[in-house]
Amino acid sequence: MRRIETQILNSLIESEKSFWELLDENKFTVKEFVAALNDLFRGGLINAREDKIYLTEKGLRQVNKTHLEFKGKICDKCEGKRIIFNGKFKEIMEDFTRITKNRPLPNANFFQGYMREQDVISRVALMHHYNDLAGKSLILIGDDDLLSVALALTDLPSRIFVLDIDVRLGEHIKGICKEYGLNIEFQQYDVSNPLPKELLSAFDVFSSEPLETLSGLKAFISRGVACLKENGVGYFGLSTAEASHRKWRAVEKMLLQMNCVITDIIRDFSRYRTLYETVNYEMFTKRLSFPVSGNPGIYWYKSSLFRFEVLGEPKPIIKPDKSIAIKYIDRRDDVTNPLLYSKY
Amino acid sequence: MRRIETQILNSLIESEKSFWELLDENKFTVKEFVAALNDLFRGGLINAREDKIYLTEKGLRQVNKTHLEFKGKICDKCEGKRIIFNGKFKEIMEDFTRITKNRPLPNANFFQGYMREQDVISRVALMHHYNDLAGKSLILIGDDDLLSVALALTDLPSRIFVLDIDVRLGEHIKGICKEYGLNIEFQQYDVSNPLPKELLSAFDVFSSEPLETLSGLKAFISRGVACLKENGVGYFGLSTAEASHRKWRAVEKMLLQMNCVITDIIRDFSRYRTLYETVNYEMFTKRLSFPVSGNPGIYWYKSSLFRFEVLGEPKPIIKPDKSIAIKYIDRRDDVTNPLLYSKY
């Protein structure tokens, strides 16, 4: 039996679970998860009733109960993030939540969606722990999480520069800056275009949540690296929901090629909603062989946090003065993009 | 100012600290740390008195106090390991501590030293969390941590096989197995030699704390990968104390070349003593420009945990039937090996 199927069965020995609870525990792509569930259902190992998935008699015979006595759980204090924050960060968390309440709603054309407020602040706290904040110049490529606002509220960085394709975001950030006296520079920019020359080798730290097609990852990370000074530092998120291990490996290869060393991979650091007023990233449930009811509010979509450092000179694999064509949908890995279902 | 020096100064604004407390916070190699401290001391930015290092007036002028109000701290519940353990794991922790009390003392010729008992059990709990334990066959290359005993106590793996150069360890493990009715296979083996044929592609999971010279890392990890079946999984530790970022990058390159994807890098997962009855890994204090008193019992030597998965067929970079010459000391990165000081 494959790892993914074993994981599902092992989880179901503990107790029956809803589809969303199982999805929340899943460590593989949603596409692989849906396929595995359908296989287990068709094979008669699992069944579904009243919103719960459970092991059948046949399923029960496949699994070994001994491992139930052992509980190795992700830390409930830091949620497996390694970092916790206190003091002024708590205040900033409150301010950030209040200030960003009226953020622009996600646009599916840009595959937008924003992480929880506490995940943004945890990321800022981690940056601070690594001395990547105080007195540093930061560039963000894409910022629908509004990380720039949280950074500006600390007043620690020397400069915060946001590049985003979405003009609405620039307007919104400008409004926040005016209202709260913050200092954030914004420039509308599509990563497929050449990088504005004045941004080259100009920043200490880069941060992003890239589009997860291979061309998207290549463009976002390569542009980010090109913006870094010697020995600069980068942070970016990569999901397991949309990015297969094959793609993770390609990203890691890219980073090493660009003269970087990966210093941290913190799994499932950030969580995202998948249902917004404007966008629904849960249409893939149509592909299940059994009925599933709506998500009761589980943040199953997670992104792992990569941190890297450049060793000496950054070497972006896409030359900063070159364009690159970007695909918005990866039909091989992804089943969550609503545009995949626009014909239905 | 370089990152390492900024880190030291930033830490000292909070309060004066002992050399050992500062070393415990250090994120670079011990060699870089010692050089940075000497530079700061000679530059008149820090000074030392009665076991404490503190900022001078000149040092105080160099740093920015604002960042003090922000506390991003490593989680105190899981110590930044992400994983916590309960239930049966607690019992195993007690049994493990009791059973391993009379372990063989470290031998500096093999650069031995063992991690804390809780770090071993956390590692086992993480493996369990990833479904890498129940019903799996495990191979350990090097086992002075006696991880094999902790694994055997869970009774979850289908097979536990230990390779180690040190015959004393084989005798010791054999004795424990007899006394406590455990099942661990042992074979004496020097990783520089060709891999015994029967171990090739025979295991689900590999674990090791390699020797941290480049040739050592290459040999340990390559042998481990060669022992894995298709889609096998590996866990190994890499320190920041002895391994520079340049070396981290070389290790990451190796893994990708061997057809692996890195799924986790959890910083400072395990802590080690550095003073044993038989070995002293703290002789490098001789290189400091100011006097430092003995370590009061701080476990400053840490190892970060890498987890990887093979994508399909493992491709070890050292062919299993080939020998490789291994260096035991890396004079470029390492200052902790006592053999470096044997001429003094």
- In this structure, are residues B122 and B81 in contact, taking their beta carbons and an 8 Å threshold? yes
Average pLDDT over residues A275-287: 90
- In this structure, are residues A163 and A189 in contact, taking their beta carbons and an 8 Å threshold? yes
- Considering only alpha carbons, which residue of chain B is nearest residue A91? B70
The answer to whether residues A40 and A135 belong to one domain is no
Domain stop point among B69, B98, B115: B69
The answer to whether residues A43 and A103 belong to one domain is no
Strands (E), chain A: 46-49, 52-55, 70-74, 83-87, 137-141, 159-164, 185-188, 203-208, 228-239, 260-272, 301-310
Q: How far apart, in whole angstroms, are the C-alpha atoms of residue B8 and residue B17?
A: 10
Q: Do A311 and B267 touch (CB under 8 A)?
A: no
A134: nearest CB among B64, B134, B154: B64
Compute the nearest-CA separation of A99 from chain B (Å): 20
Q: Do B73 and A252 touch (CB under 8 A)?
A: no
Tens of pLDDT along A172-207?
Answer: 999 999 999 999 999 999 999 999 999 999 999 999
- Which candidate, A313, A160, A157, places its Cα nearest to that of A229? A313
What's the alpha-carbon Rg for chain A, to the nearest Å? 21
Q: Does B102 touch chain A (CB under 8 A)?
A: no
The answer to whether residues B42 and B122 belong to one domain is no
The answer to whether residues B55 and B96 belong to one domain is no
Q: What is the structure's pLDDT at A122?
A: 98
User: Angle of helix A117-129 relative to helix A147-154, nearest 10 degrees?
Assistant: 50
Q: What is the structure's pLDDT at A66?
A: 75
Please check whether residue B82 lies inside any domain of the structure: no
The answer to whether residues B109 and B223 belong to one domain is yes
Domain stop point among B23, B42, B69: B69
Tens of pLDDT along B175-206?
Answer: 999 999 999 999 999 999 999 999 999 999 99
pLDDT band at A343 (very low <50, low <70, confident <90, very high): low
User: By 3-state DSSP, what share of chain B in percent is helix, strand and coil, each rounded to 5?
Assistant: 40, 25, 40
The answer to whether residues B21 and B93 belong to one domain is no
Domain stop point among A69, A99, A127: A69
pLDDT band at A141 (very low <50, low <70, confident <90, very high): very high
Q: Do B156 and A67 touch (CB under 8 A)?
A: yes
- In this structure, are residues A72 and B156 in contact, taking their beta carbons and an 8 Å threshold? no
Q: How far apart, in whole angstroms, are the C-alpha atoms of residue B292 and residue B297?
A: 14
Phi and psi at residue B261, to the nearest 5°? -115, 135
Q: What is the structure's pLDDT at A330?
A: 87
Whole-number Cα distances in Å, A184 to A121, A153, A162, A224, B119: 17, 10, 7, 17, 43
Q: What is the structure's pLDDT at B344?
A: 44
B82: nearest CB among A64, A75, A86: A75
Please check whether residue B304 lies inside any domain of the structure: yes
Q: How far apart, in whole angstroms, are the C-alpha atoms of residue B307 and residue B157?
A: 18
Q: Do B74 and A83 touch (CB under 8 A)?
A: yes
Instruction: Classify B104 as helix, strand or coil.
Output: coil
User: By 3-state DSSP, what share of chain A in percent is helix, strand and coil, each rounded to 5?
Assistant: 40, 25, 40
Q: Domains in chain A: how many in total?
A: 2
The answer to whether residues B101 and B224 belong to one domain is yes
pLDDT at B168 over 60: yes
- Judging by DSSP bridges, how do beta strands A70-74 and A46-49 pair with one another? unpaired
pLDDT at B343 over 70: no
Q: What is the structure's pLDDT at A128?
A: 95
pLDDT at B1 over 80: no
Q: Does B250 touch chain A (CB under 8 A)?
A: no
Burial pattern A265-300, b for ≥16 Cβ within 10 A else e, equals: bbbbbbbbbbebeebebbbbbeeeeeebeebeeebb
Q: Which chain B residues contact residue A69 at CB under 8 A?
A: 87-88
B66: nearest CB among A80, A85, A134: A134
Please check whether residue A75 lies inside any domain of the structure: no
Q: Do B256 and A261 touch (CB under 8 A)?
A: no
Tens of pLDDT along A210-266?
Answer: 999 999 999 999 999 999 999 999 999 999 998 999 999 999 999 999 999 999 999
Q: Do A77 and B81 touch (CB under 8 A)?
A: no
pLDDT band at A50 (very low <50, low <70, confident <90, very high): confident
User: Two tokens at A342?
Assistant: 């626009």
* DSSP assignment letter at B228: E
- Considering only alpha carbons, which residue of chain A is nearest residue B4? A131
Q: Do A64 and B260 touch (CB under 8 A)?
A: no
Average pLDDT over residues A145-151: 97
CB-based burial label for B296 (10 Å; 0-12, 13-18, 19+): exposed
- Considering only alpha carbons, which residue of chain A is nearest residue B8? A131
- Judging by DSSP bridges, how do beta strands A52-55 and A46-49 pair with one another? antiparallel
DSSP secondary structure of A248-275: HHHHHHHHHHTTEEEEEEEEEEEEE-SB
Q: Which chain B residues contact residue A87 at CB under 8 A?
A: 69-71
Q: Do B72 and A127 touch (CB under 8 A)?
A: yes
Tens of pLDDT along A56-67?
Answer: 999 999 887 777
The answer to whether residues A332 and A277 belong to one domain is yes
Q: Which chain A residues contact residue B133 at CB under 8 A?
A: 67, 70
Q: Which chain A residues contact residue B71 at CB under 8 A?
A: 85-89, 125
The answer to whether residues A177 and A268 belong to one domain is yes
List the CATH number of the domain containing B144: 3.40.50.150
Average pLDDT, chain A: 94
Tens of pLDDT along B106-124?
Answer: 988 888 889 999 999 999 9
CB-based burial label for A89 (10 Å; 0-12, 13-18, 19+): buried
Q: What is the structure's pLDDT at A339?
A: 83
- Considering only alpha carbons, which residue of chain A is nearest residue B231? A3
* DSSP assignment letter at B277: S
The answer to whether residues A109 and A46 belong to one domain is no
Compute the nearest-CA separation of B180 from chain A (Å): 19
Q: Which chain B residues contact residue A75 at CB under 8 A?
A: 75, 77-78, 81-84
Q: Do B72 and A89 touch (CB under 8 A)?
A: yes
B87: nearest CB among A69, A77, A311: A69
The answer to whether residues B99 and B37 belong to one domain is no
Q: Which chain A residues contact residue B243 at CB under 8 A?
A: none
Average pLDDT, chain B: 94
Please check whether residue A162 lies inside any domain of the structure: yes
- In this structure, are residues B276 and B299 in contact, taking their beta carbons and an 8 Å threshold? no
- The angle subtended at Cα B83 by Cα A209 and Cα A13, nearest 5°, is 100
Which residue of B8, B73, B154 to mutate against A (max A Cβ within 10 Å)?
B73
Burial pattern B167-191, b for ≥16 Cβ within 10 A else e, equals: eebbebbeebbeeeebebebeebeb
pLDDT band at A277 (very low <50, low <70, confident <90, very high): confident
Q: Do B70 and A131 touch (CB under 8 A)?
A: no
Please check whether residue A125 lies inside any domain of the structure: yes
Q: Which chain B residues contact residue A78 at CB under 8 A?
A: 75, 77-78, 80, 82
- In this structure, are residues A309 and A233 in contact, taking their beta carbons and an 8 Å threshold? yes
Average pLDDT over residues B303-322: 96
Q: Does B130 touch chain A (CB under 8 A)?
A: yes
pLDDT band at B87 (very low <50, low <70, confident <90, very high): confident
Please check whether residue B326 lies inside any domain of the structure: yes
Q: Which domain holds residue B31?
A: 3-69
User: Two tokens at B236?
Assistant: 């190994």
Average pLDDT over residues A138-162: 97
- In this structure, are residues A138 and A159 in contact, taking their beta carbons and an 8 Å threshold? yes
User: Two tokens at B183?
Assistant: 């099942």
- Judging by DSSP bridges, how do beta strands B52-55 and B70-74 pair with one another? unpaired
Q: Does B267 touch chain A (CB under 8 A)?
A: yes
B66: nearest CB among A66, A77, A156: A156
Q: How far apart, in whole angstroms, are the C-alpha atoms of residue A62 and residue B2?
A: 57
- In this structure, are residues A238 and A306 in contact, taking their beta carbons and an 8 Å threshold? yes
- Which candidate, B123, B169, B126, B166, places its Cα nearest to that of B146? B169
Q: How many Cα atoms occupy the beta-carbon half-sphere of A291 within 13 Å? A: 4
User: Two tokens at B117?
Assistant: 């008992």
- What residue type is B194 in one-letter code? P
- Which candidate, B256, B214, B249, places its Cα nearest to that of B234? B256
Strands (E), chain B: 46-49, 52-55, 70-74, 83-87, 137-141, 159-164, 185-188, 203-208, 228-239, 260-272, 301-310
ipTM, two decimals, is 0.96
Q: How far apart, in whole angstroms, are the C-alpha atoms of residue B102 and residue A93?
A: 50
Please check whether residue A78 lies inside any domain of the structure: no
pLDDT band at B337 (very low <50, low <70, confident <90, very high): confident
Q: Does A25 touch chain B (CB under 8 A)?
A: no
Q: Do B249 and A256 touch (CB under 8 A)?
A: yes
Q: Does A219 touch chain B (CB under 8 A)?
A: no
The answer to whether residues B259 and B216 belong to one domain is yes
List the CATH number of the domain containing A25: 1.10.10.10
Q: What is the structure's pLDDT at A57?
A: 96
Please check whether residue A79 lies inside any domain of the structure: no
Q: How far apart, in whole angstroms, are the C-alpha atoms of residue A261 and residue A308?
A: 5
Q: How far apart, in whole angstroms, are the C-alpha atoms of residue A314 and residue A225?
A: 6
